[in-house]
Amino acid sequence: MKRLLAYVVVLITMFMLTACAGMQGATANSPVLDRITMNGELVVGTAASMPPLNMTTKDGEIIGLEIDLAQAMADSMGVKLRLEAIQFHELLPALEAGRIDMILSGMTITPQRNMKVAFVGPYFKSGKAILTKLPTMAQAQTPEDIHDPRKSIVTLRGTTSEQFVKDYLPKVKLVTANSYDEAIDMVINNEVDALFADYTICVVTIFRYPKEKLLTVVSPLTYEPLGIALPDNDSLFVNWVDNYLKTLEDSGALEELTWEWFENPGWMKRLP
């Protein structure tokens, strides 16, 4: 993975050297880039619990596709990367308060969020799905198939999953959790009937806990474009990240990085 990350950085060196050179001399109207260059670090907020996008290993190291992306950006800026592990529902307030420079944490781009912060992306497209032990729920093809007042569903607090259940499944008993680990434990221990979350979370969880007889739908129930959340007061910073991401996409490096994390399950051995 480190070799792949080095390849990604080298691949866009010419573009980023030009961008960084301009950044050094033109940050008077760029408060976030000023802060990053002055402190010598890029501060990225992450839930650190959403594999394979972001996750915490047994040794306490935060790794994942998004972490590699954040590290590549920091390297291209010539600064250090500092990760801040924050509960998902507290990430946006942390960004708005200036405690972090960006959010890379499986965050769906929505009109409501975009009215408060800027977004670049999507860098990954996912969808909602059900994680359950019940075959009847795992066979759901539409939200109506699980709209039952006798059922209970857990979601991560502050996510589009929570809002979706509130809007489209009002009869279902909704339970919220602070982390996916907490939510998954509820499903495994039969405290709730299902977890409603991003499709990637559901699929990875099945591979992580093969003995728990967990099930999920074959295809996502909704469309979820994931983006990089940025402060709304720095157009140059937003432009820099946007150009960086486009360069990764056009070169094929982002696709290769994504493939590496989703097709190579070796990282699962490092999880608790």
- Answer whether residue 139 shows pLDDT above 90: no
Q: What is the pLDDT of residue 264?
A: 85
- Answer whether residue 14 shows pLDDT above 50: no
pTM listed for this prediction? 0.87
Asked whether 69 and 63 are in contact (CB, 8 A), the reply is no
Q: Give the span between the Cα atoms of 67 and 61, in whole angstroms.
A: 11
- Answer whether residue 49 shows pLDDT above 50: yes
* Max mean pLDDT range (4-8, 25-29, 220-224, 252-256): 252-256
Q: Which domains does the chain have, with CATH numbers?
A: 2-126+226-270 (3.40.190.10), 128-216 (3.40.190.10)
Between 235 and 22, name the one with better pLDDT. 235
Q: Which residues pair with 119 in a beta bridge?
A: 229
Nearby residues of 157 by Cβ (< 8 Å), 6 or more positions away:
87, 88, 89, 176, 177, 178
- Answer whether residue 23 shows pLDDT above 60: no
Q: Give the span between the Cα atoms of 228 and 245, in whole angstroms.
A: 10
What CA–CA distances, in Å, run from 194 to 23, 129, 158, 182, 216? 48, 10, 18, 13, 9
The pLDDT mean for the chain works out to 89
Amino acid letter at 201? I
Q: What is the pLDDT of residue 244?
A: 96
Q: What is the pLDDT of residue 10?
A: 52
Q: What is the pLDDT of residue 144?
A: 81
Closest by Cα among 53, 157, 42, 54 to 100: 42
Q: Give the span between the Cα atoms of 87 and 103, in whole angstroms.
A: 12
Q: What is the pLDDT of residue 51?
A: 95
Between 9 and 43, name the one with better pLDDT. 43
- Answer whether residue 1 shows pLDDT above 70: no
Q: What is the pLDDT of residue 7?
A: 52
Q: Give the span between the Cα atoms of 16 and 32, in whole angstroms.
A: 17
Per-residue pLDDT tens over the stretch 187-211: 999 999 999 999 999 999 999 999 9
- Answer whether residue 249 shows pLDDT above 80: yes
Bond preceding residue 52 cis, omega within 30 of 0: yes
Q: Tokens for 200?
A: 């990637």
Q: What is the pLDDT of residue 5?
A: 53
Share of the chain above pLDDT 90, in %: 76
